[in-house]
């Protein structure tokens, strides 16, 4: 606010002095202009003293000398114009930095404030500061665990994503240690506190975030990097002009045109322009300093859950008893899951609904916190839950059953279904890769980011497939918040480092990094406050876009400075030669400033490395084709199931004929429509020579395989033993190619939808 008031004061003084001058009152005009300029000189002097105490020297010393010299030599008008330049530049810089905040109040707001303590048969509501080791606490559904302690119930289910980044709730048994910060996802449970709330895990995370933010050194102004050399050059030129001519006004003229307003103004204007461009893309950058640091990033560390993955469990695969079948197993499990609020249950229901499976109402549903669900569906007794839940009911998975599920479980979790006391199906749950993540990683590589690392609190088995799919350089799994800070600092020693995350557990690392980038659309307020950059759009591909915008703004700032100071250098030469008196020099310098500012504003335009394919028009049908991909993925599952069902007898032929009809009714029309409208529109956006050729070639291969399936089925009518082996190979090949094609197409067209524009 002080800087804005100073600017207003200078403007009023200039106008008053001009009015006095026009009224024929030169003395009053001089007093008004001097009164306008001197407070600016005082302000600059105080700032210069602070800079010197900090061990640096700034270019403001030239402006201070010019103002004081102009007043002393009777060039008050020139002094006022210089004051306007300085005050205006500082006001603009203050506006840019006003967007910054180092407050972590949101993180504090998430911390639990109340707790329920059991005192005999009574429940007392207390403040968390009153918790003492040994207190017996009651944690109700939806409440946050207020302190570290030991579980005193048979089971509990906690959402620990704020602590570990793990998307799936974690089950605990009696005697397990629980950490504060987890959210109760099941029934109420009792907890024996082991420590006071101030010594809890969550409180430690808050302190780590505050400490990491406090230890980050503030960034010096861009202008100060050339301060010593520029000041020395100006002093030599002004002093030389004075010595040679004996005229101090000649030296003043040099100081006036040397006033480094292009240094003071151009950089903040370009950075503010970059901040504005970023904001229009849903990227909030907290100040010019953050933008300037972002432009120098060479290493990026990613959290996993909620950053590279959506953070929500989904059904990845189904392994069912052939006698029951996959769809029938999913129907039973999803029907029972309707009576549960567990995230895995919600994923099963969503998967069944996506496949168009009608779900009847279950009977006698009972949910066991941390275990699973029991109930009756159409007269059949069902159990749905973790493997331990089935074992506790005396049900053992049969030898050989669920091998594929157990292999896949290395990167996810498995929900088991038992029907009438026998295991019937296994549902593999996973937190899939964000669709735009591969493109984001490739673009970071293209921008020159040399090292990409996955840093997560999740298990190595769950993190490694994500890193492998994205071709990241390293994986650091099972990282506590303190470990993440250590990883960030280790990377920062080698190169400027950014950390991308969304959870409370990421907040300390975000604060410790050179630039913290928070996924703010669905992330926690703690991450948003600790980060220097907040992505309001829930897309990780905004990370490379933010870096590209920052780099262009920084380049424009440097070029504006170079042009402005180059012109100032020419003007200094004319002033030293006596061709520019102080007032004229001040006006010339003002013109140079305007030019530098206008050039700096070109940062509002996107650069070549910011190019993003334009969104496809609605008539291209991208949304419709992608919506059909869910059905095509189910078709791929049927291809695999059909291939697995082929045996020595033609019993599977009717089902295979149904699959072949679906190929003709769904797959081939889908591909024809893509080649008619979608691919030509996408090719026009992507540019180059026939960029969609690989996808079209896949279409041709799939059409050939579909035709081969049809011919083999005809041959199978008379020669099943001869046709069956080749039919099995063809179905497996078609399934693999179809899955690969869907993934490749979605990745190639990522970012062309209206939601990404």
Active site residues: 303
Residue 712: partners with Cβ closer than 8 Å, 6 or more residues away: 723, 726, 727, 730
- Sign (positive or negative) of CA dihedral 678, 679, 680, 686: positive
Task: Please give the structure tokens belonging to residue 597.
Answer: 């500012």
**Residue tagged 């005396």 (tokens):** 394
Residue 750: partners with Cβ closer than 8 Å, 6 or more residues away: 435, 436, 438, 439, 541, 756
| DSSP summary character for residue 663 | I
Query: Residue 183's beta-bridge partner residues?
Result: 144, 159
Which region, left, alpha or beta, applies to residue 297 given φ > 0 means left and ψ of -120 to 50 means alpha? beta
Q: DSSP assignment of 1-19, as one string?
A: -HHHHHHHHHHHHHHHHHH
Q: Distance of CA 612 to CAs 468, 684, 745, Å? A: 26, 13, 17
Q: Is 626 helix (H, G, I), strand (E, B) or coil?
A: helix
Phi, psi of 132 (to 5 degrees): -125, 150
Burial class (CB in 10 A: 0-12, 13-18, 19+), 306: buried
Instruction: For residue 304, give the nearest of 469, 508, 456, 482 by alpha carbon.
Output: 456
- Residue 560 in contact with residue 138, Cβ under 8 Å? no
Distance of alpha carbon 130 from its chain centroid, rounded?
37
Where would I find the beta strands (DSSP E) of 59-175?
A: 114-119, 122-127, 136-139, 149-151, 155-159, 170-173
- Residue 254 in contact with residue 245, Cβ under 8 Å? no
**Residue tagged 């461009």 (tokens):** 277
Distance CA 606, CA 598 (A): 16
Distance CA 199, CA 194 (A): 9
Give the angle 433-439-441 at the CA atoms, nearest 5°.
85
Q: Three-class SS string for 58-84?
A: CCHHHHHHHHHHHHHCCCHHHHHHHHH
Task: Please give the structure tokens belonging to residue 593.
Answer: 């400033």
Measured torsion, CA atoms of residues 686, 691, 695, 699, in degrees rounded to the nearest 10 = 120
**Residue tagged 């001869």 (tokens):** 722
Instruction: For residue 63, give the nearest of 263, 258, 250, 236 by alpha carbon.
Output: 258
Residue 14's CB: how many other CB atoms inside 10 A?
Answer: 19
Burial class (CB in 10 A: 0-12, 13-18, 19+), 294: buried
Instruction: For residue 454, give the nearest of 476, 438, 421, 434 by alpha carbon.
Output: 476
């Amino acid at each position: 606010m002080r800087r804005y008031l100073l600017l207003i004061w200078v403007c009023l003084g200039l106008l008053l002095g001009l009015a006095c001058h026009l009224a024929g009152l030169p003395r009053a005009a001089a007093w008004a202009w001097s009164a306008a300029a001197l407070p600016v000189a005082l302000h600059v002097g105080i700032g210069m003293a602070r800079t010197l105490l900090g061990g640096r020297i700034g270019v403001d010393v030239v402006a201070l000398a010019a103002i004081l010299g102009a007043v002393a030599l009777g060039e008050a008008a020139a002094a006022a114009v210089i004051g306007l330049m300085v005050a205006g530049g500082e006001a603009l810089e203050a506006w840019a930095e006003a967007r910054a905040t180092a407050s972590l109040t949101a993180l504090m707001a998430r911390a639990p404030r109340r707790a329920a303590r059991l005192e005999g048969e009574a429940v007392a509501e207390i403040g968390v500061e009153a918790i003492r080791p040994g207190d017996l606490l009651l944690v109700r559904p939806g409440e946050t665990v207020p302190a570290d302690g030991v579980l005193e119930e048979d089971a509990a289910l906690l959402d620990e994503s704020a602590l570990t980044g793990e998307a799936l709730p974690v089950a605990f048994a009696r005697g397990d240690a629980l950490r504060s910060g987890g959210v109760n996802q099941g029934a109420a449970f009792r907890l024996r506190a082991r420590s006071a709330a101030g010594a809890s895990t969550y409180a430690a995370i808050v302190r780590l975030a505050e400490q990491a933010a406090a230890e980050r050194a503030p960034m010096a102004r861009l202008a100060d990097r050339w301060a010593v050399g520029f000041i020395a050059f100006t002093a030599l030129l002004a002093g030389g002009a004075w010595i040679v001519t004996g005229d101090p006004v000649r030296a003043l003229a040099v100081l006036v045109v040397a006033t480094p307003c292009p240094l003071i103004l151009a950089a903040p204007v370009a950075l503010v322009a970059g901040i504005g461009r970023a904001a229009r893309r849903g990227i909030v950058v907290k100040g010019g300093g953050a933008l300037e640091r972002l432009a120098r990033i060479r290493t990026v560390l990613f959290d996993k859950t909620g950053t590279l993955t959506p953070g929500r469990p989904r059904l990845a695969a189904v392994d069912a008893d052939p006698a029951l079948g996959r769809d029938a197993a999913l129907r039973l499990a999803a029907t029972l899951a309707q009576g549960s609020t567990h995230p895995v249950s919600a994923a099963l229901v969503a998967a069944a609904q996506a496949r168009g499976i009608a779900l009847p109402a279950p009977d006698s549903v009972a949910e066991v916190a941390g275990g699973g669900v029991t109930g009756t569906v159409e007269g059949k007794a069902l159990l749905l839950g973790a493997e331990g839940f089935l074992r506790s009911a005396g049900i053992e998975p049969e030898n050989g059953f669920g091998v594929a599920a157990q292999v896949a479980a290395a990167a996810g979790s498995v929900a088991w279904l038992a029907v009438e006391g026998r295991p019937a199906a296994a549902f593999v749950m996973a937190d899939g890769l964000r669709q735009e993540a591969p493109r984001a990683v490739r673009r970071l590589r293209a921008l020159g980011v040399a090292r990409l690392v996955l840093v997560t609190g999740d298990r190595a088995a769950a993190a490694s497939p994500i890193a492998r799919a994205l071709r990241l350089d390293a994986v650091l799994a099972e990282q506590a918040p303190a470990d993440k800070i250590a990883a960030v600092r280790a990377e920062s020693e080698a190169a400027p480092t950014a950390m991308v995350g969304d959870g409370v557990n990421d907040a300390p690392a975000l604060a410790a990094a050179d630039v913290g980038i928070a996924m703010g659309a669905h992330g926690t307020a703690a991450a948003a406050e600790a980060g220097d950059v907040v992505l309001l759009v829930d897309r990780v591909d905004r990370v490379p876009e933010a870096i590209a915008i920052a780099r262009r703004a920084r380049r424009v700032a440097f070029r504006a400075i170079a042009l402005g100071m180059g012109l100032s250098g020419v003007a200094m030469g004319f002033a030293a030669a006596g061709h520019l008196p102080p007032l004229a020099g001040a006006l010339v310098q003002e013109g140079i400033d305007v030019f530098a500012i206008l050039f700096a504003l070109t940062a509002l335009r996107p650069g070549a490395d910011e190019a993003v394919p334009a969104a496809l028009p609605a008539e291209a049908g991208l949304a419709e084709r992608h919506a059909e991909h869910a059905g095509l993925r189910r078709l791929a599952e049927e291809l695999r199931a059909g291939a697995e069902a082929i045996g020595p007898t033609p019993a599977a032929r009717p089902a295979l004929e149904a699959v072949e009809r679906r190929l003709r009714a769904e797959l081939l029309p889908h591909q024809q429509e893509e080649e008619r409208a979608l691919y030509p529109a996408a090719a026009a956006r992507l540019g180059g020579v026939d960029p969609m050729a690989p996808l079209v070639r896949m279409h041709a291969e799939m059409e050939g395989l579909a035709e081969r399936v049809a011919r083999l089925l005809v041959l199978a009518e008379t020669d099943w033993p001869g046709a069956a082996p080749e039919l099995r190979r063809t179905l497996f090949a078609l399934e693999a190619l179809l899955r690969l094609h869907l993934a490749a197409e979605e990745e190639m067209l990522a970012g062309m939808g209206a939601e990404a524009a």
